[in-house]
Structures are given as structure tokens and as C-alpha cells.
Amino acid sequence: MNALLWLLPALPITMGAVLLLVRRAARSAAVTTAVATLGLAVYAAVARPRAGARLLFDSGLAVDGLSAAMVVTVAGVALAVLVFAAGELREARFFGLMLIFVGAMLLTVTATDLVLLLMGWEVMGAMSYALIGYWWHDGERVRSATIAFVTTRAGDLGLYFAAGAAFAGALAATGNGNGAFALAVLSGDPAPWRDLIAAGIVVAALGKSAQVPFSFWLSRAMAGPSPVSALLHSATMVAAGAYLLLRVQPLLAATGWAAAVVAWAGAVTALLLGAVAVAQRDLKQLLAASTCTQIGFMVLGAGVGAVPGGAAQLVAHAAVKSLLFLGAGAWLAALGTKDLTGLHGAARRYPLVGVTFGIGALALAGVPPLSLWLTKDAVLGAVREPVLYGVAFAGALLGAAYAAKALVAVWRPVDAGTRDDTEQPGTRRVGVLERLPLPVLALGAVVLGLPVLAGDGWHLTAGELALSGTLAAAVVLAVAFATRNRWDAVPGEAVRRAVAMPGPRGLLAGWLWLEKAAVALVWRPLTAVAGGAAWFDDRVVDGAVNAVPRLGMAAARLARRPFESGIDGAVRAVAGAAGRLGTLARRPQTGQVHLYFAQAAVALIVLAVVFVLAR
């Protein structure tokens, strides 16, 4: 029965690959596969199987409590998103890529060792590239996909390094590298290897989870179809980083520094990206920034040792965020806009989407009694350091602010700001398949926090819950009141103006200019060095090589000019002189007897003179 566990990632990956090649009946095949995968996931969550095989090394899959929550979440959200997508998209390529994407995530969250985890992790990254750049004839979308992939891969390098360090650590400790990659043994490796492993894993996880300073790629990830955003922002990709940190929490704690770094990264992200989210004018960008902040609470949970709280936050957030993105996607398809001002009245025009989106937004705000209120406090309750707590709590309040901003925008009546078709021509309808998953996810957004109230081991106090709930509700009301009459009339223009604006407003609207910074500080210097290296290679290295035959030719010429032509010249001179002498000698031979006679006479006189003088 255990071998069945391999099917959990293998089924969607295989079916996805088949769809990419066969391209028939993609939608029904994809949804059927997703249903079967969810069945397998539920089975795995109950039976807790374990399977091993020798791939590159001894690798294995296993489902424990954390993985059980993950596999059900991933498979469930995937099914909801694929049903939604079946109403919007038709191409087999899309469904094939999505299934492989899901399968890779399932592999990542069930792997028991770094190698298998890394494999799922990287394949997931590659699929995110293919899905973000799904409309590949649009160069700008491809550029977004490239930026997203290269950024996350920059983080992934840490995981490669961690694997190497794990191997070295095991060799140093026991002299035997077998089993070195098992996630469970990493915290037992000797220093400094343990610290190197932790450093690598932390970088990789922060990159994948779009925490500061990697956050900008998530803004770029919006270029794909809406279902991609719904999946990428909830149960896969960004969730993988948080999952990994929760998984290796003992390692983080063992190093003494990594846990603190992680906790601060999460809290700072929650605060900064919360401010970014508040400054957005585009619904999908607002939701994207909010993903960073909500993941920040999971990362914080891993840092402060609140693993169950972090996991609960991950599960509840997956439902909330996929719901919100599907709602935004439904409006984008129907109304052709995702601009917050342009969306005025959207909720009233499509009430089912509006109501479910409203529930999701309230949950995101942390309003009681919805899920994220409980799960976020389950993490916050474990924070012992006052400053850290303050930063994270401020982030949570910003969460209430941006959620309220989105909520108010879509629930306002249609007004002068409403603009349809700013992005693309809308269809003016939300089909059955698009509507089907929304109530289910909304239910999840309501109830998924409840496990926090059951059982022990949760760092929760009634006072904290009451305080955070009241404050969140107050912030929502305040935002609603404050923004009741103030909206920019021309939506698209305003965004561009805000991003271009210098000062804090532009900084926040432009995602802290993190992308600009990465381009200016990393990409430009890299391409400059590359250009320099190419020049060096052509001119200096190859120049030296080409100089060798040139030198040879020069030597040859040298040999010709003074030497070869010198000797040759001497030979020619002799020959020439002989020739000239010959010509000279021919001249007297004219064939005329009187001249011969004269010559003979002259010769005789000369002979006589010589004879006389010589004597």
C-alpha cells in the first residue's frame, strides 16, 4: 500500500506530460486527474504511508502531520482552481503544465530528503516560468516569467549548497555519506556544516516565498492567467518556501541564529509588503503583495517555533488567497479590468463572486470569527520578543487595511470611476465552472482556522484574540469610512503616476523598487562583466592565439626578406651578370667580315702591346 504514495506526485505529473504531448480532452482529463489526486491525498493523510526507492541516492516519500495538511491543501486547491480554469481556458498545454506544477509541489511536500525535495522544488520553478509566460507571444509576459524564474533560482542555489554541505557534514561526523540528505538528520550535523545548511535553506525558502528582498518576482508572476496566480499564490510555489522552513524548524533552532533571521525576515516582510499592498491600485497587485505579508506570518511561525500555527496559517491562507484570486480572475474575464477603481460595483454586478470575495477579504483582514484571525494569532502568540511582536502586529493591522481597501472598492455601487475593459475585452459573464469552486473555498476561508481552538499546544490567549479581532474590525471600518468619497477618476493613469512618483508613495506603489535595485545592483553589473569577458575573450585570449600564426607569418616574411631574398639575390645577381656578359660577348659577332678583320687587328695590337709591356 505504501508504494501507492509514489502515485500522489506521479499521477498528476504523468497525466500532465501526457496532456502536453497528446492534447486531447484536456479539461475533463485534468479535472479527473485532480479529483483522483485529491482522493490519493486524503488517503495519504489518513493512512500516513511511507515509501522509499533508490533514485540518485536513497530517497523516500512520507506523510506525517505537516505533510498530511499540505497534500490535502495542495490537492484541494488544485482541484478548485482547475475546475475554475476549465471554464476559462481550453488549451491542453495549460492543463498539462498545471498538473505537472501541482505534482511537483506534492513531491516537494512529501519528500523526506533534500534531493527529492530539490527536484520537486526546481521543477515547480520551471513550471511557474512556463505558466507565467503562458501567453508566450507577448514579450513582456515572457520577460516577467524570466525575472520570476531567475530570481527564485537565485534563491534555489542555496538549496544546492545546503545539499552539498549536508553531505560534507555527514562525512565529517560519521565518515559515511549514506542518508546524509534526510531532512530529519540535518539538525544533528556538526558545526559549521549545520550553519551552512541552514543558511542555504533559509535563502532558498525566502526566495521561493517571495520574502524581502526577493518579493518583486511575485509582482511579475501576475503576468500569467488568473488560475495560475490562484494556484501559485496559495498552495504551491510561495507556500513551498514556508513549508520548507516549517519542516526544518529544528535545524533553524539548533543553529541559534537562523531562527531569529527567519523570524525577522517574516515580520519585516509582513510590515513592508503590507504597506506596499495598501499602496496598490491594481487588485491583482494588491493581492500579490498581500501574499508576501501572509506568507511572512508562516515564516515568522517557523522562526519562533510555532510550527502548528504556521501550518494552520498556510492551510487557511491557501483557501483564502485562491478564493480571492479566482474572484479577481472572474471579474477580469467578465469585466476586462483589475483596476481597483475600475472595479467599482463589480461585486454587485456578480453577487456570488462578490459575496465569496467579501468573505475572503474579511478573512484576509483578520476579522473574527474567520480563519486567518485565528491562525495569525496562533503564530503571533508564540512571539516572545516585544519589538518583533510589534513589527508583526503592525503588519497584521496593515493586512486589515489593504483587505478593506479591496473589499470597499468592489462593493461600492457603480460610479464615475467604474471602467470596463481596461485590460482586455470582457465576456460579461461568469460561467458555472467559474462559480462552482467559489462557495467551497469561501467555506474553507471561514472554518479552516477552527483547528487552532481545538487541542493543546497552541500559544493563544483570549485577550490577544479579542484585541487583534477588535483592532482588525476597527481598521476595516476606518478604511471604509475614510475612502467613502475619495477615488481617482482615471484609473490607469493614476497607477502610472504613482509608480513614477518619487518619494514614499512611489516607493510603495513600485514594490519598494526591489526589482529596480536587483536590476541595477545585480543584473546590470553581471551583463557588464559578461560583455567585458566576451571582449576579453575575443581580443585578448583569442587575440593571443591569432597572434601566434601572425607571428609565424612575420617570421616567415623576415626569413624571406633579408635572408632568403638575400641569398636568392646573390644567386640572381651572378646569373644576371653572366647573362649580361653573354649579351656583351654576343655583340661583336655580327657576321660581317670587315668587322671581324678589324677586331682581329685590334686584338693583335693589344696582344703586341701586352707582350711588349710584359717583357
Partner 1 sequence: MLDIVIFLPLVAAALLPVIPRGKAAGWVWVGVAALDLALVVAMWAGYEGGIGYETRLRWMPSVGAGYHVGVDGLSLPLIAMTALLFLVCAVYSLGETTRAYAALFLFLQTVSIGLFAALDLLLFFVFFDLSIVGMYFVIVGWGHGDRTRSALKFFLYTFLDSLALLLGFIGLYLGAEPHTFDMVDLTTNPPKAGALVLLAIGVGLAIKTPTVPVHTWLPPAHTDAPATGSAILAGVLLKMGTYGFARIAMPMLPQVWREYAWVIIVIGVTGVLYGALVALAQENLKRLIAYTSVNHMGYIVLALGAAGLSAPTQARELAVSGAVTQMVSHGLLTGALFLIIGILWDRAQSYEISKFGGMPPVLTGLMAVAAFGSLGIPGLSGFVAEFQIFTGVIGSGAVISGALGIVGILITAALFLRVLHRAFLGRPGELTVLVTDVRPRELAAIAPLLILSLIIGIAPRWLLDLIEPASAAIVNLVSR
- The full DSSP string for 353-365 is HHHHHHHHHHHHH
Q: How far is the CB of 518 from partner 1 (least distance, A)?
A: 12
Task: Compare residues 171 and 414 and give the one whose CB is closer to partner 1.
Answer: 171
- The full DSSP string for 107-168 is HHHHBSBHHHHHHHHHHHHHHHHHHHT-STT-HHHHHHHHHHHHHHHHHHHHHHHHHHHHHH
Q: Are 169 and 209 in contact (CB under 8 A)?
A: no
Q: How far is the CB of 100 from partner 1 (least distance, A)?
A: 9
Q: Are 396 and 468 in contact (CB under 8 A)?
A: yes
Q: How far is the CB of 329 from partner 1 (least distance, A)?
A: 23
Task: Compare residues 171 and 466 and give the one whose CB is closer to partner 1.
Answer: 171
Helices (H) and strands (E) in the chain, counts: 28, 2
Q: Are 280 and 289 in contact (CB under 8 A)?
A: yes
- φ/ψ region of 58 (left if φ > 0, alpha if ψ in -120 to 50, else beta) reads beta
Task: Compare residues 134 and 331 and give the one whose CB is closer to partner 1.
Answer: 134
Could you tell me the CA-to-CA distances from 538 to 209, 542, 553 in Å, in that order? 41, 5, 21
- φ/ψ region of 149 (left if φ > 0, alpha if ψ in -120 to 50, else beta) reads alpha
Task: Compare residues 526 and 595 and give the one whose CB is closer to partner 1.
Answer: 526
Task: Compare residues 210 and 383 and give the one whose CB is closer to partner 1.
Answer: 210
Distance between CA 342 and CA 414 in Å, rounded? Answer: 9
Q: How far is the CB of 496 from partner 1 (least distance, A)?
A: 23
Task: Compare residues 198 and 442 and give the one whose CB is closer to partner 1.
Answer: 198
Task: Compare residues 124 and 278 and give the one whose CB is closer to partner 1.
Answer: 124
Q: How far is the CB of 122 from partner 1 (least distance, A)?
A: 5
Contacts 24+ apart (CB under 8 A), 463-466: 464/377, 464/380, 464/381, 465/368, 465/373, 465/374, 465/377
Q: Are 113 and 19 in contact (CB under 8 A)?
A: no
Task: Compare residues 123 and 298 and give the one whose CB is closer to partner 1.
Answer: 123
Q: Give helix 462-482 / helix 386-411 axis angle, nearest 10°.
A: 40
Distance between CA 243 and CA 66 in Å, rounded? Answer: 8
Nearest to 124 by CA among 140, 144, 151, 106: 106
3-class secondary-structure state, position 60: strand
Task: Compare residues 174 and 590 and give the one whose CB is closer to partner 1.
Answer: 174
Which parts of this chain interact with partner 1 (CB under 8 A)? 54-56, 115, 118-120, 122-123, 126, 129-130, 133, 136-139, 142-143, 146, 149-150, 153-154, 157, 160-161, 163-165, 167-168, 171, 175-177, 196, 526-527, 529-531, 533-534, 537, 541-542, 545, 549
Q: Phi/psi at 182 (nearest 5 deg)?
A: -60, 130
Tell whether the torsion through CA atoms of 433, 436, 441 and 444 is positive or negative: negative
Q: How far is the CB of 522 from partner 1 (least distance, A)?
A: 10
Task: Compare residues 128 and 280 and give the one whose CB is closer to partner 1.
Answer: 128
Q: Are 394 and 332 in contact (CB under 8 A)?
A: no
Q: Are 379 and 308 in contact (CB under 8 A)?
A: no
Q: Residue 258 carries which side chain, given as an amino acid letter?
A: A
Task: Compare residues 183 and 316 and give the one whose CB is closer to partner 1.
Answer: 183
Task: Compare residues 130 and 306 and give the one whose CB is closer to partner 1.
Answer: 130
Task: Compare residues 100 and 307 and give the one whose CB is closer to partner 1.
Answer: 100
- φ/ψ region of 591 (left if φ > 0, alpha if ψ in -120 to 50, else beta) reads left
Tell whether the torsion through CA atoms of 256, 261, 264 and 269 is positive or negative: negative
Task: Compare residues 146 and 187 and give the one whose CB is closer to partner 1.
Answer: 146
Nearest to 96 by CA among 40, 34, 138, 4: 34
Measure the N-to-C terminal CA separation of the chain; round to a whole number of Å: 136
Could you tell me the CA-to-CA distances from 45 to 5, 62, 65, 184 in Å, in that order? 10, 10, 8, 19
